[in-house]
Amino acid sequence: MASLNQRLGKLEERRAPPPPPHEPSRAMDLLLTLMEHSRAESAALAAGLEPPPLVLTPEQEAESRKGEAEFLSYLEEQRELARGNPAGLETIEQAIRITREEIDLETQGDEKR
């Protein structure tokens, strides 16, 4: 029978190495920024004040634009899948239209800055 030290040594060899340090996600950083802005905006409106402007870093802006493009792509795919369902198709087309309008409004706001 192996000694206790030998068995512990074998167990140590089988242990997985520690995971690498966690790097913060840019998408999560953007989400947290948007959530915090939404809370501040709601509080300001409830108090009858002007809501604060949303201020994003260039990296957050890029991540947001990437997310918009991915969401529109997803909606286009869903539109193709909903061709046999008129009610579903109408809802998806409405979502596409609203999303594009919001992106256009944001783009116009960016040009004014």
Q: What is the pLDDT of residues 41-89, one digit of tens each?
A: 999 999 999 999 989 899 888 888 888 889 999 999 999 988 888 888 9
Residue spans of the domains in the chain: they are: 26-53, 56-113
pLDDT of residue 91: 92
| Predicted structure pTM score | 0.55
Query: Distances from the Cα of 89 to the Cαs of 40, 70, 71, 77, 85, in angstroms?
Result: 36, 19, 16, 11, 6
Q: What is the pLDDT of residues 12-46, one digit of tens each?
A: 888 878 778 877 788 888 889 999 999 999 999 99
